[in-house]
């Protein structure tokens, strides 16, 4: 029974990471109806930036917030430089640009920082076991950080005028434009926020999976699964989906398929959701008239 | 489907008529161009050219479903892997000859393609890209799994040998040269089949489904059947390319079929020319030779250069290299 409880708690901890990445994906999807295939690679780059800051002798939390700011700027720049020129192009072009971005960011990270696996520090450590050894300090800490981020994002969108403007720009760009919202910049801000959330997720997961240029590929897959499970157009759904997928993955890995097929579990969830309920658990069912 | 409903579309693809002599000249020139490397290149470069033709064939498969039918697949490496493994397993476990494995390989890949294409019907373009992306990422893990290790050889993979050149040939040729001829022959046959498919009624239906699904359906086209069959055909062609690659390399292992293969095919399609048969050939040459050149700079360089070229093509030349040639040709003719 302890084993099961531990698997569930560990699942919630990783689920928090998936939830963050899923939220980043959904933010971009909501605003532009595109899925950013390079989200994982961008988060890995951010984590490497944080790693270099820590290596340079900065205190962890300075490096943490520094990375969040840098990632935000990178996200905004990517939107302005790469996505803006093709915003009215067909889907194939967008997918192509995302794949190009994935290739460039992923390989540049490997080129600059090397392919050897690195140990990433965690700010959470504790001498004595927490909750009778059921949960590690890092699991508890990273779940807390994830929840704080998710709460902040929620408060931002719900209670600030900038958040309202961003929601308006995503929901109905034309009307938003007419009432004076600068839709283009709202999209860029959305990209920046997504990159920053991804960076936090990367920094929280790196101590667990160790840091290397391909670290996020599997995580991105789970985030896709989480986002689809919760409904890809619903941010809170995506968060719940991310947590659910984390628990599901851990239980399946421990009791059903073993660790070698973990990615296949994500694939199965994705196909299962798309076949059985394409709008996800909490998504809107879109019907269109032709 | 009534014939006169389809007729207006066919005028759009009418080409200037070529005489039988011109056609014969083209075919002969093509054959000469294909055979020439046999005498000019040494074995390593011939092997590379063989691989380039194989990649071109795989890109052709992707082009049928993504280029002509508009269903974006980021997971064609999976079909490539299935084709390679079917051939390798049949050859190493059951001692089949390479030729005998082609039909089962095509059939199994077609079935798998149908299986992926079926849920794809319910998904818009983006969801399909996402599903196939996940498929591509998961493939090496599935191939390594213990349950099928007896067949797939697990992480170690399987070793097979190239087909020996037949004894009835007038000239004595090496196994590498024979492999090249076999590859070119099979690829040429597939390109011809694809060409005929695209030029005809089905090709027009595929493009109509891509460009305006509602209108296509209103014209009486069964878009669901078209889409799943396009997926199956596409998977079949890419699978045959996979079979060829297994014997050309004489080895299959899970780590040769990572997510990178699918991305390579996608890059090849965009750079060569989306929805262009000839473009697939350029795509194959590109994905084989450009990384070789780039690798001289750094291990990571091919990826970075791929990415930059991919984005540059999408921005500047969205119809790829084939589109560039077409434009130049149009200019020359206009003068």
pLDDT one digit per residue (tens) for chain B, 335 residues = 333 433 344 444 445 556 788 888 888 888 888 888 877 777 888 898 999 999 999 999 999 999 999 889 999 999 999 999 999 999 998 989 889 999 999 999 999 998 888 777 766 677 888 888 888 888 888 888 877 888 888 888 889 888 888 888 777 788 888 899 999 999 999 999 999 999 999 999 999 988 988 899 898 888 888 999 999 999 999 999 999 999 999 889 888 898 889 999 999 999 999 989 989 999 999 998 888 777 777 777 788 888 898 999 999 988 899 989 988 988 888 76
Q: What is the pLDDT of residue A128?
A: 63
- Which pLDDT band holds residue A279 (cuts at 50, 70, 90)? confident
Tokens of A254: 């421990």
- Tell me the chain B residues in contact with residue A107 when contact means C-beta distances shorter than 8 Å: 300-304, 307
Using CB atoms, pick whichever of A89, A97, A261 lies closest to residue B141: A261
Q: To probe the interface with B, which of A42, A107, A253, A287 has the most B CB atoms within 10 Å?
A: A107
Q: Which helix (H) or strand (E) holds A61?
A: helix A60-78
Decide if A207 is inside a domain: yes
Token pair recorded at residue B92: 């190493």
Q: Which of A99, A101, A275 sits opposite B119 (nearest CB)?
A: A275
Does A56 map to a domain?
yes
Distance from the B311 Cα atom to the nearest Cα atom in chain A, whole angstroms: 6
C-beta separation of A15 from A243 below 8 A? yes
**CA nearest B218 in A: which residue?**
A290
Mean pLDDT of A69-86: 92
Question: Over the Cα atoms of chain B, what is R_g?
Answer: 20
A271 touching B, CB under 8 A? yes
Question: What's the CA gap between A99 and A95, in Å, rounded?
Answer: 6
- Of the partner residues A34, A86, A221, the one whose CB lies closest to the CB of residue B134: A221
Closest to B269 in 3D by CA, of B210, B326, B309: B309
For A66, other C-beta atoms within 10 Å of its C-beta total 14
Q: Which two tokens stand for residue B16?
A: 């200037």
- Nearest-Cα distance to chain B for A93, in Å, is 6
Task: Please report the pLDDT score of residue B5 as a whole number.
Answer: 39
Highest mean predicted confidence (pLDDT) among A130-134, A251-255, B157-161: B157-161
Helices B301-316 and B277-295: crossing angle, nearest 10°?
A: 140
- Would you say residue A52 has pLDDT above 90? yes
d(CA B233, CA B62): 10
How high is the pLDDT of residue A66? 95
* Contact assignment for A275 to B122 by CB distance below 8 Å: yes
Per residue in A192-233, pLDDT tens? 999 999 999 999 989 888 888 888 888 898 999 999 898 888
Residue B136: CA count within 13 A, CB half-sphere: 23
- The residue range of the domain holding A112 is 2-218
In the DSSP assignment, the letter for residue B158 is E
CA distance A195 to A217: 16
Give A262 or A98, the one with higher predicted confidence.
A98
Q: What is the mean pLDDT of chain A?
A: 86
**From the CA of A221, how many Å to the nearest CA of chain B?**
6
Whether the Cβ atoms of residue B129 and residue B73 lie closer than 8 Å to each other: yes
Number of helices (H) and strands (E), helices first, in chain A?
A: 11, 0
Nearest-Cα distance to chain A for B72, in Å, is 7
DSSP state of A130: B
- Element spanning B159, H or E: strand B158-159
Question: What is the distance between the alpha carbons of residues A264 and B138, in angstroms, rounded to a whole number?
Answer: 5
Name residues 61-100 of chain A within 8 A of B (Cβ).
82, 85-86, 89, 91-93, 95-97, 99-100
Parse chain B into domains and list their residue ranges.
40-257
In terms of Cα–Cα distance, which of A289, A265, A201 is closest to A24?
A: A201
Beta-strand relationship, B158-159 and B251-252: antiparallel
DSSP code per residue over B232-280: HHHHHHHHHHHHHHHHHHTEE-GGGSSHHHHHHHHHHHHHH-TT-HHHH
Q: Which residue has the tokens 């780039």?
A: B294
Q: Which two tokens stand for residue A28?
A: 């971009």
Task: Identify the closest residue of chain A to B212 by CA–CA distance.
Answer: A290
Which of A83, A88, A96, A233 is the best mutation test for B, with the most CBs of B within 10 A? A96
Q: So what's the pLDDT on residue B1?
A: 38
> Per residue in A40-58, is it b (16+ CB within 10 Å) or e — as a string?
bbbbbbbbbbbbebbeeee
Query: SS3 for B136?
Result: helix
Q: What is the pTM of this model?
A: 0.88
Choose, out of A35, A48, A267, the residue to mutate when testing the contact with B (most B CBs < 10 Å): A267
Burial class (CB in 10 A: 0-12, 13-18, 19+), A254: middle
Q: What tokens appear for A106 in the block?
A: 């992923």
Euclidean distance between CA atoms A226 and B309, whole angstroms: 32
Chain B residues in contact with A111 (beta carbon < 8 A)? 298-301, 304
Distance from CA of A131 to the nearest CA of B (A): 35
Question: In B74-174, where does DSSP find H-type helix?
Answer: 76-93, 98-120, 125-144, 149-152
Confirm if A35 and A25 have CB atoms less than 8 A apart: yes
Residue A25 burial (CB count, 10 A): 29
Residues A4-28 have pLDDT tens digits of 888 888 888 889 889 999 988 888 8
Cα(A241)–Cα(A21) distance, rounded to whole angstroms?
11
A267, part of any domain: no
Nearest to A103 among B126, B127, B307 (CB): B307
- Is the pLDDT assigned to residue A269 strictly greater than 70? yes
d(CA A73, CA B332): 47
A272 inside 8 A of chain B by CB: no
Question: How many domains are contained in chain A?
Answer: 1
For residue A91, which residues of chain B lie inside 8 Å, CB to CB? 72, 125-126, 129
Phi (first) and psi of residue B252, to 5 degrees: -130, 140
CB-based contact B244:B105 (threshold 8 Å):
no
The CA distance from B179 to the nearest CA of chain A, in Å, is: 32
Are A278 and B130 a contacting pair at CB < 8 A?
A: no
Q: What is the token pair recorded at A10?
A: 């560990």
Q: For an interface test with A, which of B116, B303, B305, B318 has the most A Cβ atoms less than 10 Å from its Cβ?
A: B303
For B10, the token pair is 């066919």
Q: What is the dihedral of CA B104, B110, B112, B114, to 10 degrees?
A: -150
What is the token pair recorded at A77?
Answer: 């720049």
- Residue B57 and residue B284 in contact, taking contact as beta carbons nearer than 8 Å: yes
Which one, of A198, A184, A90, lies nearest residue B211 by Cα? A90
Q: Across the interface, do B135 and A267 touch by the CB < 8 Å criterion?
A: yes
Structure tokens, A159? 């209670």
pLDDT band at A253 (very low <50, low <70, confident <90, very high): confident
β-partners of residue B9 are none
- Give A146 to chain B, closest Cα distance, Å: 25
Does the distance separating the beta carbons of B142 and A91 come in below 8 Å?
Answer: no
Q: How many Å lie between the alpha carbon of A111 and the closest alpha carbon of chain B?
A: 5
CA distance B50 to B56: 10
Q: What is the spatial distance between Cα A177 and Cα A191, in angstroms, rounded to a whole number?
A: 19
Within-domain flag for A114: yes
Is residue A258 included in any domain, yes or no? no
The CA distance from A209 to B190, in Å, is 44
Q: How far apart are the first and last CA of chain B?
A: 42
Q: In angstroms, rounded to a whole number, what is the distance separating the alpha carbons of residues B227 and A54?
A: 51
What count of Cα atoms within 13 Å lies in the side-chain half-sphere of residue B108?
21
Handedness of CA A208, A27, A197, A247 (dihedral sign): negative
Note the pLDDT tens digit of each residue in A161-204: 998 998 888 888 889 999 988 988 988 998 999 999 999 999 99
Q: Which residues in chain B have Cβ-Cβ distances shorter than 8 Å to A106?
A: 303
pLDDT for the residue numbered B9: 40
């Amino acid at each position: 029974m302890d084993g099961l409880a531990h698997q569930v708690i560990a699942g919630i901890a990783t689920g928090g990471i998936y939830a963050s990445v899923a939220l980043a994906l959904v933010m971009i999807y909501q605003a532009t109806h595109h899925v950013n295939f390079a989200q994982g690679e961008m988060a890995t780059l951010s984590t490497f930036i944080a790693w270099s800051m820590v290596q340079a002798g900065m205190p962890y939390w300075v490096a943490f917030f520094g990375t969040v700011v840098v990632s935000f700027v990178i996200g905004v720049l990517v939107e302005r430089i790469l996505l803006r020129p093709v915003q009215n192009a067909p889907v194939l072009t967008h997918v192509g640009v995302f794949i190009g971005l994935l290739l460039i960011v992923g390989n540049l990270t490997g080129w600059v920082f090397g392919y050897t696996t690195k140990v990433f520090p965690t700010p959470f450590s504790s001498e004595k076991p927490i909750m009778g050894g059921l949960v590690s300090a890092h699991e508890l800490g990273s779940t807390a950080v994830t929840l704080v981020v998710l709460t902040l994002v929620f408060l931002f969108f719900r209670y600030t005028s900038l958040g309202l403007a961003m929601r308006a720009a995503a929901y109905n760009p034309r009307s938003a434009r007419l009432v004076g919202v600068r839709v283009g910049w709202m999209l860029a801000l959305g990209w920046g926020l997504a990159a920053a959330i991804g960076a936090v997720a990367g920094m929280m997961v790196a101590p667990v999976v160790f840091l290397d240029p391909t670290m996020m590929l599997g995580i991105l897959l789970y985030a896709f699964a989480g986002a689809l499970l919760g409904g890809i157009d619903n941010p809170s759904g995506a968060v719940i989906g991310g947590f659910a997928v984390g628990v599901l993955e851990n239980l399946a890995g421990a009791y059903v398929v073993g660790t070698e097929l973990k990615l296949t579990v994500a694939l199965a969830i994705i196909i299962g959701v798309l076949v059985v309920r394409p709008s996800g658990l909490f998504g809107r069912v879109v019907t269109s008239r032709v | 489907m009534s014939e006169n409903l389809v007729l207006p579309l066919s005028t759009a693809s009418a080409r200037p008529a070529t005489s039988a002599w011109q056609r014969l000249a083209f075919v002969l020139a093509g054959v000469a161009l294909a055979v020439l490397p046999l005498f000019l290149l040494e074995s390593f470069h011939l092997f590379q050219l063989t691989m380039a033709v194989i990649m071109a064939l795989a890109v052709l498969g992707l082009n049928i479903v993504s280029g002509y039918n508009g269903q974006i697949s980021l997971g064609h490496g999976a079909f490539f892997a299935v084709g390679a493994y079917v051939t390798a397993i049949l050859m190493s476990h059951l001692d089949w000859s390479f030729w005998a494995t082609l039909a089962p390989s095509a059939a199994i890949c077609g079935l798998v393609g149908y299986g992926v294409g079926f849920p794809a019907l319910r998904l818009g373009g983006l969801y399909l890209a996402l599903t196939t992306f996940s498929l591509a990422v998961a493939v090496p893990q599935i191939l390594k799994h213990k349950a099928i290790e007896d067949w797939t050889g697990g992480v170690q993979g399987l070793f097979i040998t190239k087909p020996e050149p037949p004894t009835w040939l007038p000239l004595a040729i090496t196994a590498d040269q024979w492999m090249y001829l076999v590859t070119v022959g099979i690829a040429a046959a597939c390109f011809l089949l694809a060409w005929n498919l695209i030029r005809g009624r089905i090709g027009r239906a595929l493009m109509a489904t891509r460009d305006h699904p509602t209108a296509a359906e209103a014209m009486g086209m069964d878009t669901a059947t078209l889409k799943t069959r396009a997926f199956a055909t596409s998977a079949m062609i890419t699978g045959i390319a996979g079979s060829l690659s297994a014997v050309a390399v004489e080895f299959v292992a899970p780590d040769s079929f990572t997510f990178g293969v699918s991305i390579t095919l996608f890059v090849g399609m965009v750079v060569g020319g989306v929805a262009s048969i000839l473009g697939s050939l350029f795509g194959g040459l590109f994905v084989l030779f450009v990384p070789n050149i780039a690798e001289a700079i750094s291990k990571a360089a091919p990826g970075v250069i791929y990415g930059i070229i991919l984005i540059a093509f999408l921005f500047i030349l969205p119809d790829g290299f084939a589109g560039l040639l077409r434009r130049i040709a149009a200019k020359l003719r206009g003068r």
